[in-house]
Amino acid sequence: MAEEKDLFKYDEDSIKSLDWREHIRLRPGMYIGKLGDGSAPDDGIYVMIKEVLDNCVDEHMMGYGKHIDITIEARTVTVRDYGRGIPLGKVVDVVSKINTGAKYDSKAFQKSVGLNGVGTKAVNALSNNFKVESFREGRTKAAEFEKGILVKEYKEAATQETNGTLVTFIPDDTVFRNFHFIHEYLDNLLWNYCYLNAGLVITFNNKRYVSKNGLLDLLKRKTNEDELRYPIIHLKGEDIEVAITHNNDYGEDIFSFVNGQYTTQGGTHQQAFREAFVKTIRDFYKKDYEAADIRQSIVAAVAVRVQEPVFESQTKTKLGSQYVSEGGQSMKNFIADFFAKELDNFLHRNQQTAEALRKRIEQSEKERKELSGIRKLANERAKKANLHNKKLRDCRSHYNDELPSKNKEEFIVTKNKTTIFITEGDSASGSITKSRNVETQAVFSLRGKPLNCFGLTKKVVYENEEFNLLQHALNIEDGLEDLRYKNIVIATDADVDGLHIRLLLMTFFLQFFPDLVKQQHVFILETPLFRVRNKQETIYCYDETQKQAAVKKLGSKPEITRFKGLGEISPEEFGKFIGDDIRLQPVILEQGEHIQNLLEYFMGKNTMERQEFIIENLRVELDLVEDTI
C-alpha cells in the first residue's frame, strides 16, 4: 500500500522546470500541431517550413525583399530570403531564446503572421541540424545547432552576399518517424503565399511561383472555366480581398486567409464571409433564400489583414479574432459592410452575372426540395439499421466531440489522430477491428462492391443503403463542419477486386462530397504484399523490389508469404501496419484537374482514350517484364 501511495506523491521533487528546448521536444504538439510523416498537409514537417517562410513573407510585406529561394534535397530544407537580415548581434537569440523577436512592436509588424516569437525556436528544437545565417550591410553572422543545442557560433565576418537570412534544417527523424516531403502539398503552400502577396517571387527547386492578380488567380487555378456558372467576381478593399463563383459540384469550397496565413480550419473571418454573402444575396434579390441554397456549389476565397491576429493554436489554422484592430470594427461588421457595398454594386452593374447566380441558387433550391422527402425516410432507415452495431465499429474519441477528461493539448493531438477505416468483408474488417486503437480508430465494413454512382444525382446517396449508412457514419450529410473523423482511410485488398472497390469509393466521395478530397481527409492504406522470414528475422515488403532485397538479406531460402487479402494478415501483424508506422497514401487532386472530367475518364463509358491508355501501359509493362527476364 505504501508503494502505491508513492506513485502519487506530490512534493517539491515533483515540480520540474524545463528550458525552452526541452519543453518543445517534450510537447511538440503545442508548437507545430501533430507530428505525422508528411502524408497529410498539416503534418509538422510542413508547419516547420511555414514557420520559416512566414518570417520571410513578413519582410516582403513590409517592403524588403521580393524573392524567396527554397530548396529541398532529400530531407534537407534550405530557405533564403532577401529582406533586411536578422540584426547580427541577435542571430543566436532569435532562434534559441523563447519570447525573443521583433514582432512584439506592433508598429513594425502590425499585420504580421507570427507574433509570439516561437516559430523558428520550434524548428530549431525539432531539427537534427539547424543553421541560421544573416547577411546585413556587408557583414554576416552564423550559428549551428543540433536539436536546439548550440554547437557552433561563427564570428562576425565580411561578406559580398545580398542582405537577407539563410536557414537550413533537417527535421529530427526520431520525432518525425519515416517522414517524407510530398511536393504537391508544398506546391499549394507556395502558391498561396504568392496569391496573397502579388509580386512576390518564390523559387522552389528551380520552379518559379508568382501571381499578379491575387485571389483571382487562385480561383482560376482551383476551377475549370468551362464548369463555372458565371465569371469569377473579384473584389478588393482596404485589408480585404474576395473572389467568388459557383460551379456544378456539391458542397462549399471556401479558402480563407489572414495576414497571408491559410486558415485551413476557418475561423471568425470565414464565418463572417459566409453570413455576409448570404445576407447580401437575400437583400439584392429581395428573397429569403435558404443559406444552404445560396452557398451550394460556391467556390470562393477571402483574405483579410488583421492587427495582431489571435489564433486558436500555434499552428495558426483557425482565426479567433473578433475584431480587425484594437478598438476597431468587429470582424462580422467589417466583412458585412464590405459586401453590402462592393458585392451589391457589382451585381447591379453586371446583370448577366446576377441572373446566372440567381439561376444557380434556384437550381439548388429545387434539388433540395426534391430530396427532402427521401432524405427523411433514409434517416429513419439509418436509425433502424442500428448503425453503430452493424456497420460501424466506432472509436471512443471523435474529431469534433468534446473530451472533458482531456486537457487542450491532448485533445488536439487526439482529434488529429481520429481515423475511420473503410473495408470490405468480415475477415478484413475483423482483423482491423481486433488490432486497432479503440481510442482513435473506427472501422466501417462494406458489404460487397459499392454502386458506381458516376453521373447519378444525390438522390442515390439516400436510396442506396451502403452510401446512406456511410454518410451517416462520417456525419457529412450537411457538410464537413461536423465531420466525425480527421482521416478517412480506404483499406481494401491489393488485388483487382480491391482496386475496383477503391475506385468506386473514390467516385462516391468525388461525386457527392468532393471537399473531403480537396481538404485532404481521404487516404489509401498501404499494407505489405509479402512477408519474408527465417527463424531470426521477419521482413515485410510492400513491392517486388523490397521482396528481392529481403530474400537476398536473409538468404538460405527464407519463407515467403504473399498476402492475397487483408483478411490473411493476422490481427497481431495488422497492429504493426496501423500503428505509429502506418503508411497512408494521400488522395490528391492535381491542380487544374477537374472532378467531372476525371470521373468521366475513369468511370464513364469505355472511351477510346481510356482503351488507348490501358493498351499503351500494358505494352510498357510487358517490355519491363521482358527486360527483367
Domain 385-527+565-593 coded CATH 3.40.50.670: yes
Q: Which helix (H) or strand (E) is 522 found in, with range?
A: strand 522-526
For residues 83 and 67, give the distance between their C-alpha atoms in angstroms, rounded to a whole number: 9
Give the model's pLDDT for residue 10: 56
Q: φ and ψ at 256, to 5 degrees?
A: -125, 145
Q: pLDDT class for 628, splitting at 50, 70, 90? A: very low
The answer on pLDDT for 124 being more than 90 is yes
Give the model's pLDDT for residue 415: 62
Q: pLDDT class for 408, splitting at 50, 70, 90? A: very low
The answer on pLDDT for 573 being more than 60 is yes
For residues 333 and 234, give the distance between their C-alpha atoms in angstroms, rounded to a whole number: 20
Amino acid in the structure at residue 397? S
Burial of residue 152 (CB within 10 Å: 0-12, 13-18, 19+) is: exposed
Q: pLDDT class for 404, splitting at 50, 70, 90? A: very low
Q: Which helix (H) or strand (E) is 524 found in, with range?
A: strand 522-526
8 Å CB contact between 507 and 454: yes
Are 21-209 and 215-367 the same fold in CATH? no
Tell which wins on pLDDT, 171 or 572: 171
For residues 126 and 147, give the distance between their C-alpha atoms in angstroms, rounded to a whole number: 6
Tell me the CA end-to-end span of the chain in Å, nearest whole number. 70
Q: Which grid coordinates are listed for 35?
A: 507530428
The answer on pLDDT for 453 being more than 60 is yes
User: CB 494: neighbour CB atoms within 10 A?
Assistant: 18
For residues 35 and 314, give the distance between their C-alpha atoms in angstroms, rounded to a whole number: 14
User: CB 612: neighbour CB atoms within 10 A?
Assistant: 10
What b/e readout covers 334-344, taking b as 16+ CB neighbours within 10 angstroms? bbbebbeebbe
90 DSSP assignment: G
Q: Which helix (H) or strand (E) is 80 found in, with range?
A: strand 76-81
Rounded (10°) CA dihedral 212, 217, 218, 221? -130
Give the model's pLDDT for residue 622: 45
**Which CATH number, 3.40.50.1820, 3.30.565.10, 3.40.50.80, 3.20.20.370, labels domain 21-209?**
3.30.565.10
Q: Who's near 388: CB < 8 A, 6+ residues apart?
A: 394
For residues 186 and 224, give the distance between their C-alpha atoms in angstroms, rounded to a whole number: 22
8 Å CB contact between 79 and 49: yes
Q: Which grid coordinates are listed for 8?
A: 502519487
Q: pLDDT class for 556, splitting at 50, 70, 90? A: confident
> Where do the domains of the chain lie?
21-209, 215-367, 385-527+565-593, 531-562
Query: What CATH fold (topology level) applies to the domain 215-367?
Result: Ribosomal Protein S5; domain 2 (3.30.230)
Burial of residue 583 (CB within 10 Å: 0-12, 13-18, 19+) is: middle
